[in-house]
């Protein structure tokens, strides 16, 4: 069932009316004598807009209304095409100074006559079709006054792979499953008795959207489960066809947190067997759709080598899968109770007690809505998002409760969940409906980032212009709203669509979106409706995400992919091809052969992605893509863009990531006036013939780019005359992140001159990254960056750093591999080191929270000129000459984390010790006197009353910890880790006295340590790990030593 009608057309009408109101279009239309045609078009669109809401409500009851909406939908695409073509013609005239005025004043000019004939002819055709539709609109449509739906729609107009999961749990989403969780955990922790099999399998079975994955995540992350199993792995199966090599590889990568380069099943199983041997493991296989007995017998071979009690948890919708795999327990997950559903609905609709007390009937209606969701959490959350902003509108809730959508169920609907999802979709604002439907072009397995999806919406023109906000910001609001309404889900830094939500998107967009996925035997099949293969001219959006080379490109009914794409080229607006690898390309022979002819045929294309496809060059016929707004050539083999790219007047988004060498046309910045977003991450930015600065003028011409990264800057030669306003980035008021990288060393004066030329807007920039800069001094503009929040300086050759302490907003500073820097900062008119600052009471770094200094070999003391009360985290690594800290280090009153690694000359901390107020975590590794390899003095542990975690590593020369009071552990300590003490023979006898908060103790690689201190370890210790301590391991087998640790629940000694 498709609901695309009003969702597409309503948003279309709004966007089209906005385009018709363009000042330049209206001025030129008067001269061309087509202003009346445009006025007629505007009037027809406004008339149609007034009946769209009512038509949408009736499309499921009246087939003639559905047909009318479908025809209007197709016509709306045609209207936008002609308006965009018109805008492109007018825009190109605008690019030439005074050209528009001269051309439009010369009525007989051939270009003007061509434009007039082209637009007038197509406008009359469009107006005729609209008139025909308007005459057929009398289906006794009436505008309902129903509170809520009609108002929202009008106001808003003014405004089969599977999902991939991870082990990370959002605790706020876990409701009503405590009993299920306890039952499963009890079975897991008892599954190592003498009668148990080596490998146990527990299956969680239930319908989609019921919370199987969430329950498995909660079990997987339970602290008792973590301690019980030596090794854990989470694998999302997702695919309907079992691939044992892929699953085995995923288990290895999840368990090790590292990529596995193996691909064949036999070596993969050998590696997994080695990993699991004599270990008690827990593996979760999430979302298993199919598993034959033969597949399972093959997959579990290496799993049989684990320790007794090892367990596999399977989540599945299939009873047959559970019966094949399960040996321990088949746990059937049932719907949540009405009370839990009401709790979830309240949370997602943000209903508090105050709202309920002021509107008592709202609870009665809400409980009835929750009951209709039949215990399915996904349906409840989605409806909660729908009702969120309507909590005070009783009539709206009543309307939702009595909606006829509850009566619509598909034959394959699982327990009535789809009506709830469709109802939530139906009540989305029109602009969100269209954005949501477009998401069906992505595969179900696909994880995406927010900044990947929004540019696609922008390219397709799905974001309604505001006039006050940037398009990208409006898109971010759309995304957040879909996420809040549970149409998108968060999965550890990325987003996915639940498979049922994706099914909903596919049912909505079946007539316009078409996705292809791979099948065995080099065949492709549609992810959407297979009948579209026979009607390619209706397809507007086409996607293909191949994972391997396919030669034949066979579709159903013996249709080949090239035939299908050519047939749909006249109407196609999106061609989204996405290779599987982020850093390299995959060969698609057919595409390279036909690209030139496709560019000539794709007259309506807005979005083009060839990401990850092996293409060496773009044909000049790309100039024919006059309506193109989005171009992604990332991870291809393209080394230069043709000049024809400059003809793409409408281009807004240009993505050129992971390219080797890139040369851009010199006029690109001047001619691509509509560019809003540029993503360029290259290994070497080639600046063109003669190594001149002209090509960098592109960056000065881009006004709305948020992030710019340029590398290979050593190739640019800058003359004094080049340092002018046009070369800089000052005019870009939206640039938030700037990366400048030199790959090789050149002349210092040229680098310094270039840096002055690259000045960004001082009020906009929030993040600055400079790598490999070899000038003697940094540019003066850095000190004026009042909103700069993050700074990264790496591999620079300067002896003096810029006056970063003056930046009022700086919170995050990272300095790496600065071989010549000895701690000096520029003061604007001179330079000074930290010792010279000490008596001057400068208020430097007023907001700094995080500081990292790595591999600065000339530093002798902490290079900050004064106490920084805001500093929360201080990290020092591999500063081999660092000997001391300033005496006022104790004044870092907000410091919570202090990490010091490989500072081998650090002999002592200040006399007044470390900051004691808030320090929670202290890590010392490879510090202290270089020759003796012992700890620095003055650490003052006994004074750190907030310390919770202490880690000390690589003190290979230390035999005994000092007995001074400063090494007495604070009573607040919860976690103690000691690593690599080759000569350590004993721990202080009173070390653990009074440590009532200690929960975890870990001692590794202390081969001479033979015993723990006298007396039992503190009673609250829950976890003890001893590794690489052969004498201690041996003594722990004796009664006296064993008695010290007998009360600890989880002990691991290896």
What's the full length of the chain, in residues? 1054
pLDDT tens readout for residues 111-157: 556 666 666 777 777 777 777 766 665 544 433 333 333 333 333 33
Helix 35-49 × helix 110-135 angle, to 10°: 30
Q: Which regions of 911-948 does DSSP assign to beta strands (E)?
A: 921-925
Task: Among 57-66, 365-374, 955-964, 977-986, name the most confident range.
Answer: 977-986
Instruction: Kindly state the average pLDDT of the residues 470-490.
Output: 85
Q: How far is the C-alpha of 368 from the C-alpha of 1017, rounded, in Å?
A: 56
Residue 592 above 80 pLDDT?
Answer: no
**Alpha-carbon dihedral angle through residues 206, 212, 215, 221, given to the nearest 10 degrees:** 140
What are the distances in angstroms from CA 919 to CA 948, 949, 1002? 8, 9, 21
The pLDDT value recorded for residue 687 is 46
Structure tokens at 439: 């998401």
Minimum mean pLDDT range among 153-157, 342-346, 394-398, 975-979:
153-157
For residue 867, how many other CB atoms are within 10 A of its CB?
Answer: 18
For residue 1013, how many other CB atoms are within 10 A of its CB?
Answer: 15
Q: How far is the C-alpha of 456 from the C-alpha of 578, rounded, in Å?
A: 13
- Tell which wins on pLDDT, 424 or 478: 478
Q: In sequence order, what are the beta bridge partners of 727?
A: none
For residue 143, how many other CB atoms are within 10 A of its CB?
Answer: 12
Structure tokens at 230: 């030596």
Q: How far is the C-alpha of 591 from the C-alpha of 614, rounded, in Å?
A: 9
Q: How far is the C-alpha of 727 from the C-alpha of 759, rounded, in Å?
A: 9
Backbone angles phi, psi at 453, to 5 degrees: -80, -40
DSSP 640: B
Structure tokens at 188: 């897991």
Instruction: Tell me the three state secondary structure of residue 661.
Output: strand
Instruction: Tell me the three state secondary structure of residue 403.
Output: coil
Minimum mean pLDDT range among 610-614, 909-913, 980-984:
909-913
The pLDDT value recorded for residue 119 is 67
Residue 83: CB partners within 8 Å, gap ≥ 6?
Answer: 16, 19, 20, 25
Q: How far is the C-alpha of 681 from the C-alpha of 660, rounded, in Å?
A: 9
Task: Among 5-14, 645-654, 828-837, 920-929, name the most confident range.
Answer: 645-654
Residue 481 above 70 pLDDT?
Answer: yes
Structure tokens at 499: 């498979």
Q: Which regions of 902-969 does DSSP assign to beta strands (E)?
A: 921-925, 949-953
DSSP states along 921-971 = EEEEES-S-TTTT-PPB---GGG-TT--EEEEE--TT-SB---SGGGSPPT
Instruction: Kindly state the average pLDDT of the residues 637-663.
Output: 83
Q: How far is the C-alpha of 891 from the C-alpha of 914, rounded, in Å?
A: 8
**Alpha-carbon dihedral angle through residues 819, 820, 825, 827, given to the nearest 10 degrees:** -150
Q: How far is the C-alpha of 993 from the C-alpha of 4, rounded, in Å?
A: 70
Task: Tell me which residue has tokens 């309404």.
Answer: 485
Residue 685 above 70 pLDDT?
Answer: no
Pairing of strands 513-519, 523-526: antiparallel
pLDDT tens readout for residues 792-840: 999 999 989 999 998 999 999 999 999 999 888 886 544 555 444 443 3
| pTM over cut 0.85 | no
**542, 576 Cβ separation under 8 angstroms:** yes
Q: How far is the C-alpha of 409 from the C-alpha of 418, rounded, in Å?
A: 7
Task: Tell me which residue has tokens 């009993």.
Answer: 179
Task: Tell me which residue has tokens 């910890």.
Answer: 961
Residue 103 above 60 pLDDT?
Answer: no
Residue 410 above 80 pLDDT?
Answer: no
Q: How far is the C-alpha of 133 from the C-alpha of 78, rounded, in Å?
A: 14
Instruction: Kindly state the average pLDDT of the residues 80-101.
Output: 64
Burial category of 407 from C-beta neighbours within 10 Å (exposed 0-12, middle 13-18, buried 19 and up) = exposed
Q: How far is the C-alpha of 912 from the C-alpha of 938, rounded, in Å?
A: 8
Instruction: Kindly state the average pLDDT of the residues 71-84.
Output: 76
Helix (H), strand (E) counts: the chain:
33, 32
**518, 550 Cβ separation under 8 angstroms:** yes
Task: Tell me which residue has tokens 């399972």.
Answer: 296
Backbone angles phi, psi at 679, to 5 degrees: -120, 110
The pLDDT value recorded for residue 439 is 92
Q: Residue 651's closest CA among 628, 621, 677, 671?
A: 628
Minimum mean pLDDT range among 97-111, 405-419, 663-677, 940-954:
97-111
Percentage of the residues of the chain whose pLDDT score is greater than 90: 18
Burial category of 623 from C-beta neighbours within 10 Å (exposed 0-12, middle 13-18, buried 19 and up) = middle
Q: Which regions of 206-359 does DSSP assign to beta strands (E)?
A: 231-236, 281-288, 310-316, 329-332
Residue 532 above 70 pLDDT?
Answer: no
Q: How far is the C-alpha of 250 from the C-alpha of 259, rounded, in Å?
A: 9
Task: Tell me which residue has tokens 């609209």.
Answer: 130
Q: How far is the C-alpha of 491 from the C-alpha of 478, rounded, in Å?
A: 19
Q: Residue 661's closest CA among 686, 643, 624?
A: 686
Task: Tell me which residue has tokens 């990332």.
Answer: 634
Q: How far is the C-alpha of 630 from the C-alpha of 677, rounded, in Å?
A: 9
Q: In sequence order, what are the beta bridge partners of 330?
A: 203
pLDDT tens readout for residues 52-71: 655 555 555 555 666 776 77
Structure tokens at 990: 């009173």
pLDDT tens readout for residues 497-523: 887 788 888 877 877 888 775 544 444
**Alpha-carbon dihedral angle through residues 923, 925, 930, 932, given to the nearest 10 degrees:** 90
pLDDT tens readout for residues 724-764: 544 567 777 778 888 888 887 777 888 888 888 888 888 88
Q: Residue 446's closest CA among 431, 456, 460?
A: 456
What's the mean pLDDT when you consider all of the chain? 77
**377, 335 Cβ separation under 8 angstroms:** no
Q: How far is the C-alpha of 817 from the C-alpha of 855, rounded, in Å?
A: 5
């Amino acid at each position: 069932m498709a609901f695309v009608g009003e969702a597409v057309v309503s948003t279309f009408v709004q966007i089209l009316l906005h385009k018709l109101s363009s000042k330049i279009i209206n001025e030129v239309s008067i001269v061309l004598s087509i202003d009346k045609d445009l006025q007629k078009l505007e009037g027809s669109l406004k008339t149609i807009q007034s009946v769209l809401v009512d038509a949408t409500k009736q499309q499921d009851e009246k087939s003639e209304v559905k047909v009318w909406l479908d025809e209007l939908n197709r016509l709306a695409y045609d209207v936008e095409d002609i308006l965009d073509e018109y805008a492109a013609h007018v825009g190109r005239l605008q690019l030439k100074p005074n050209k528009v005025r001269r051309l439009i004043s010369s009525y007989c000019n051939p270009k003007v006559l061509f434009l007039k004939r082209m637009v007038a002819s197509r406008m009359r055709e469009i107006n005729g079709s609209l008139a025909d539709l308007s005459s057929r609109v009398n289906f006794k449509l009436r505008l309902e006054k129903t509170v809520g739906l009609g108002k929202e729609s009008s106001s808003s107009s003014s405004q089969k792979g599977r999902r991939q999961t991870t082990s990370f749990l959002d605790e706020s989403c876990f409701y009503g499953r405590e009993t299920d969780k306890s039952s499963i955990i009890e079975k897991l922790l008892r599954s190592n008795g003498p009668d148990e099999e080596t490998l146990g399998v527990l299956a969680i079975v239930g319908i989609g959207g019921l919370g199987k994955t969430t329950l498995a995540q909660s079990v997987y992350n339970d602290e008792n489960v973590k301690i019980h199993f030596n090794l854990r792995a989470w694998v999302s199966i997702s695919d309907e066809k079992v691939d044992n090599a892929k699953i085995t590889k995923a288990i290895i990568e999840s368990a090790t947190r590292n990529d596995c380069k193996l691909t064949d099943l036999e070596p993969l199983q050998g590696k997994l067997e080695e990993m699991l041997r004599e270990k008690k493991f827990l593996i979760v296989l999430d979302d298993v759709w199919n598993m034959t007995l033969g597949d399972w017998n093959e997959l579990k071979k290496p799993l049989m080598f684990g320790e007794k009690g090892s367990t596999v948890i399977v989540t599945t919708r299939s009873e047959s899968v559970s019966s094949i795999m399960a040996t321990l327990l088949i746990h059937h997950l049932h719907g949540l109770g009405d009370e839990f559903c009401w709790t979830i609905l309240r949370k997602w609709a943000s209903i508090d007690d105050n709202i309920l007390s002021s509107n008592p009937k709202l609870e009665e209606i809400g409980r009835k809505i929750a009951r209709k969701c039949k215990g399915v959490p996904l349906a409840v959350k989605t409806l909660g998002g729908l009702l969120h902003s309507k909590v005070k509108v009783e009539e709206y809730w009543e309307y939702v409760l009595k909606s006829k959508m509850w009566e619509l169920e598909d034959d394959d609907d699982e327990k009535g969940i789809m009506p709830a999802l469709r109802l939530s979709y139906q009540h989305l604002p029109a602009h969100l409906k269209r954005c949501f439907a477009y998401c069906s072009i992505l595969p179900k397995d696909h994880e995406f980032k927010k900044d990947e999806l929004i540019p696609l919406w922008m390219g397709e023109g799905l974001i309604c212009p505001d006039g006050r906000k940037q398009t990208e910001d409006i898109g971010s609001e759309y995304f957040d709203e879909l996420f809040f309404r549970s149409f998108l889900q968060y999965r550890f830094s990325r987003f996915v669509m639940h498979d049922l939500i994706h099914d909903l998107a596919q049912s909505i967009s079946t007539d316009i979106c078409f996705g292809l996925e791979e099948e065995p035997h080099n065949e492709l099949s549609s992810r959407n409706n297979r009948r579209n293969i026979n009607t390619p001219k209706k397809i507007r959006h086409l996607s293909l995400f191949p994972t391997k080379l396919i030669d034949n490109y066979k579709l159903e009914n013996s249709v080949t992919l090239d035939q299908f794409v050519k047939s749909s080229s006249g109407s196609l607006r999106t061609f989204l091809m996405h290779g599987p690898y982020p850093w390299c390309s995959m060969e698609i022979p057919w595409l390279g052969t036909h690209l030139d002819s496709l560019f000539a045929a794709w007259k309506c294309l807005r979005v083009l992605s060839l990401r990850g496809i092996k293409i060496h060059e773009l044909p000049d016929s790309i100039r024919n893509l006059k309506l193109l707004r989005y171009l992604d050539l990332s991870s291809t083999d393209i080394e230069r863009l043709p000049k024809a790219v400059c003809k793409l007047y409408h281009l807004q988004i240009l993505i050129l990531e992971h390219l080797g060498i890139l040369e851009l046309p010199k006029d690109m910045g001047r001619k691509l006036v509509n560019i809003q977003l540029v993503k360029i991450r290259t290994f070497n930015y080639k600046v063109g013939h003669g190594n001149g600065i002209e090509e960098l003028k592109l960056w000065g011409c881009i006004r709305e780019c948020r992030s710019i990264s340029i590398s290979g800057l050593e190739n640019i030669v800058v003359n004094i005359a080049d340092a002018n306003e046009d070369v800089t980035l000052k005019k870009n008021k939206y640039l938030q992140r700037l990366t400048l990288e030199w790959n090789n060393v050149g002349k210092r004066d040229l680098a310094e001159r270039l840096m002055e030329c690259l000045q960004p807007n001082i009020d906009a920039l929030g993040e600055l990254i400079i790598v490999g800069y070899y000038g003697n001094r940094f540019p003066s503009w850095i000190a004026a960056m009042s909103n700069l929040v993050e700074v990264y300086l790496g591999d620079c050759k300067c002896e003096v750093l810029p006056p970063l302490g003056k930046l009022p907003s700086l919170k995050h500073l990272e300095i790496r591999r600065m071989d010549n820097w000895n701690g000096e900062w520029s003061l604007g008119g001179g330079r000074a080191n930290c010792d010279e600052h000490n008596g001057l009471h400068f208020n430097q770094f007023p907001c700094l929270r995080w500081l990292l200094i790595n591999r600065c070999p000339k530093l002798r003391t902490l290079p900050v000129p004064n106490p920084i009360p805001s500093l929360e985290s201080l990290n020092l690594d591999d500063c081999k000459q660092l000997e001391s800290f300033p005496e006022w280090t104790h004044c870092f009153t907000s410091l919570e984390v202090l990490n010091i690694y490989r500072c081998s000359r650090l002999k002592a901390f200040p006399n007044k010790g470390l900051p004691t107020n808030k320090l929670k975590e202290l890590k010392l590794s490879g510090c202290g006197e270089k020759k003796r390899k012992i700890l620095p003095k003055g650490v003052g542990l006994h004074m750190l009353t907030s310390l919770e975690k202490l880690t000390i590593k690589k003190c290979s020369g230390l035999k005994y910890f000092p007995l001074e009071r400063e090494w007495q552990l604070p009573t607040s300590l919860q976690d103690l880790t000691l690593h690599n003490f080759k000569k350590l023979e004993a721990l202080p006898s009173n070390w653990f006295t009074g440590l009532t908060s200690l929960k975890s103790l870990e001692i590794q690689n202390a081969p001479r340590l033979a015993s723990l201190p006298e007396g039992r370890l503190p009673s609250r210790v829950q976890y003890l790990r001893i590794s690489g301590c052969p004498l201690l391991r041996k003594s722990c087998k004796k009664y006296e030593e064993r008695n010290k640790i007998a009360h600890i629940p989880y002990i691991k000694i290896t």
